[in-house]
């Protein structure tokens, strides 16, 4: 008991001593020593807490306190220090976090609103990187700064693209440049390398996965409230509902810039769909289905960027699916009642076809005729997605073993005997013919039927070979008499396309 009381007392004292409000920071240069202190204290505090009874409420409260301190440490490390945020802004955020439950909607609002504020400051250059770090063309942080002959600095790829487009003026002053020569700005490069790039989206992802969704340390994913989960779902799906839940309406336009990229969205959606309680998963799926339906209405097709992300996540849970596990009738629906349900069947089908492709790629040709026949149900001609499913199967084989192996597989049993392969081949679909090899592509000349085309093509070829203008004029004049001026004009236009 004495050890528990002592451990809790030490843990509380150290935690309060390390609060940002207690540091008295004068400027951002003092952040590093504080971050070093927090990093050094964390393992010792974990050892102390191991001495306290797991059922102790005081232990749970202290664990939450240290979780908040770790969150503030991450904020200063990933955002505050790289952007040199003023201490007043960091301590204000610390006070916000202190009044929030770690697994609650208020913490999500606090983090999101603070990151939006930081992003707005970066846009107005009130905070963040010095202007000289930003390329005048792209307005992004430079990685490889180079100088033009007039002394201005740009990102190398941006200024090279400027010159490739035919410009010979300065992008900054619009004055002519004596040459397009570039030289590295080594001094600025050294300064850039000495700073840390700031990725607000990566920090947002870390907050959600490592703190809000954390299990242990006084927190449990099973207790996460449904409004929080639906708000996070809507946010990563790019929906307006999530935006209105966490930020004021006037700040919504800045929200997308602080959200994670595709990889981060996949990671967050993966965890959302694997929440421990059934009602949590049901709430997430319902919100995700609404956002998917909205994206389909906006884009006019099922193949939206959100749909691609969702299918990627769903495939992870259906790796072992076989064709018999797929609801083929659902794939044949042109207007599914549930977009999420439809994409789940797509994910199952892709996993089943990936398994078949893997079997076909083995040296022993492990795919049996029955396996190919079973998969044929996913590739029938009357399903709206049959072509994309077929192309997916062929591309899996192509990526695994190469084009030559794919051609041999298509021309040998069991694939060559499959009805869908024969039908597809007979249809003349160029996408399929391409997989059979270049020599199988049609060599027809669609302009060859134009009156006078063969004659004019020969005349143009002779002119290009010999360069005699008088011979060209005489030959064209003779052809005009034979086919007429209008047809000669049409044949000349067609002759420009060999």
- Give the confidence band of 38 by pLDDT, cuts at 50, 70, 90: very high
pLDDT of the residue at 425: 82
pLDDT of the residue at 449: 59
Question: Average pLDDT of the chain?
Answer: 85
Is the pLDDT score of 34 beyond 70? yes
pLDDT of the residue at 380: 72
> Helix (H, G, I), strand (E, B), or coil: what is residue 11?
helix
Higher-confidence residue: 196 or 161? 161
266-289 as b/e: b if 16+ CB within 10 A: bbbbebbbebeeeebeebbbebbb
Higher-confidence residue: 128 or 57? 57
Cβ contacts of 392 within 8 Å, gap of 6 or more:
350, 353
- The domain locations on the chain are 1-121, 131-184, 442-485
Topology of domain 131-184 in CATH is: Herpes Virus-1 (3.30.40)
Is the pLDDT score of 36 beyond 50? yes
Residues of the chain above pLDDT 90, percent: 42
Higher-confidence residue: 70 or 193? 70
**Residues 98-103, mean pLDDT to the nearest whole number:** 87
> Helix (H, G, I), strand (E, B), or coil: what is residue 224?
coil
Is the pLDDT score of 115 beyond 80? yes
pLDDT in tens, 348-384: 999 999 999 998 888 555 567 888 888 888 887 566 6
Dihedral (C-alpha) 418, 419, 422, 427: value to the nearest 10 degrees? -140
* CA-angle at 460, arms to 457 and 466, nearest 5°: 140
Is the pLDDT score of 294 beyond 60? yes
- Angstrom CA distances, 127 to 71, 191, 250, stand at 21, 18, 20
Is the pLDDT score of 450 beyond 90? no
**Residues 409-437, mean pLDDT to the nearest whole number:** 81
Is the pLDDT score of 287 beyond 50? yes
- Give the confidence band of 498 by pLDDT, cuts at 50, 70, 90: low
Dihedral (C-alpha) 480, 483, 489, 492: value to the nearest 10 degrees? -90
Is the pLDDT score of 483 beyond 90? no
DSSP structure class, residue 377: G
pLDDT of the residue at 335: 79
Residues of the chain above pLDDT 70, percent: 89
**CA pair distance 280, 287, nearest whole angstrom:** 11
**Residues 446-459, mean pLDDT to the nearest whole number:** 69
Higher-confidence residue: 54 or 34? 34
pLDDT of the residue at 82: 84
How far the first Cα of the chain sits from its last, in Å, is 92
**CA pair distance 167, 42, nearest whole angstrom:** 56
pLDDT of the residue at 218: 59
Q: What is the 3-state secondary structure (H, E, C) of 174-208?
A: CCECCCCCCEECHHHHHHHHHCCCCCHHHHHHHHH
Indicate the range of 83-97, 185-199, 204-218, 285-299 predicted with least confidence.
Answer: 185-199
- Give the confidence band of 342 by pLDDT, cuts at 50, 70, 90: very high
> Helix (H, G, I), strand (E, B), or coil: what is residue 168?
coil
**CA pair distance 379, 363, nearest whole angstrom:** 24
Q: For residue 13, what is the enclosing H or E element? A: helix 2-17
Higher-confidence residue: 218 or 322? 322
pLDDT of the residue at 477: 83
pLDDT of the residue at 437: 65
**Residues 279-306, mean pLDDT to the nearest whole number:** 91
pLDDT of the residue at 482: 81
Is the pLDDT score of 133 beyond 90? no
**CA pair distance 336, 302, nearest whole angstrom:** 10
pLDDT of the residue at 441: 44
């Amino acid at each position: 008991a004495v050890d528990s009381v002592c451990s809790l007392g030490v843990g509380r004292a150290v935690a309060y001593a390390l609060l940002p409000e207690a540091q008295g920071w004068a400027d951002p240069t003092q952040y590093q020593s504080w971050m070093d202190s927090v990093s050094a204290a964390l393992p010792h505090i974990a050892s102390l807490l191991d001495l306290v009874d797991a059922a102790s409420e005081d232990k749970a409260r202290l664990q939450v306190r240290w979780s908040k301190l770790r969150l503030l440490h991450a904020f200063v490390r990933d955002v505050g220090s790289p952007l040199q945020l003023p201490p007043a802004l960091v301590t204000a955020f610390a006070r916000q976090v202190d009044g929030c439950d770690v697994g609650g909607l208020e913490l999500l609002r606090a983090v999101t609103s603070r990151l939006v504020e930081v992003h707005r400051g970066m846009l107005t250059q009130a905070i963040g990187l010095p202007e000289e770090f930003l390329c005048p063309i792209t307005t992004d942080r430079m990685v490889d700064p180079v100088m033009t002959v007039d002394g201005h600095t740009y990102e190398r790829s941006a200024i090279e693209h400027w010159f490739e487009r035919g410009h010979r003026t300065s992008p900054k002053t619009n004055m002519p440049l004596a040459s397009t020569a570039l030289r590295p700005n080594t001094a600025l490069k050294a300064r850039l390398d000495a700073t840390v790039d700031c990725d607000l989206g990566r920090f947002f992802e870390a907050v959600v996965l490592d703190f809000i969704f954390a299990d242990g340390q006084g927190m449990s994913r099973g207790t996460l409230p449904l409004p929080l989960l639906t708000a996070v779902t809507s946010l990563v799906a790019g929906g307006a509902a999530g935006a209105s839940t966490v930020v004021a309406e006037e700040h919504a336009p800045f929200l997308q810039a602080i959200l994670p990229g595709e990889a981060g969205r996949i990671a967050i959606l993966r965890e959302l769909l694997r929440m421990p309680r059934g009602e949590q998963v049901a709430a997430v799926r319902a919100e995700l289905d609404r956002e998917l339906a909205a994206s389909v209405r906006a884009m006019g097709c099922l193949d939206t960027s959100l749909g691609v992300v969702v299918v990627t996540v769903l495939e992870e849970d259906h790796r072992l699916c076989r064709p018999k596990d797929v609801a083929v009738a659902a794939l044949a629906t042109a207007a599914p009642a549930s977009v999420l349900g439809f994409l789940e069947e797509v994910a199952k089908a892709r996993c089943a076809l990936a398994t078949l492709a893997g079997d076909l790629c083995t040296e022993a040709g492990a795919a049996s005729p029955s396996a190919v026949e079973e998969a044929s149900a996913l590739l029938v001609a009357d399903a709206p997605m049959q072509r994309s499913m077929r192309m997916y199967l062929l591309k899996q084989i192509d990526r695994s073993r190469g084009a030559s192996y794919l051609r041999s597989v298509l021309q040998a049993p069991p694939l060559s005997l499959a009805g869908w392969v024969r039908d597809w081949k007979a249809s003349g679909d160029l996408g399929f013919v391409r997989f059979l090899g270049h020599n199988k592509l049609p060599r027809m000349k669609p302009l060859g039927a134009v009156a006078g085309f063969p004659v004019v093509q020969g005349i143009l070829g002779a002119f290009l070979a010999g360069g005699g203008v008088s011979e060209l004029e005489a030959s064209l004049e003779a052809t005009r008499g034979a086919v007429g001026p209008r047809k000669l004009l049409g044949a000349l236009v067609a002759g420009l396309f060999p």
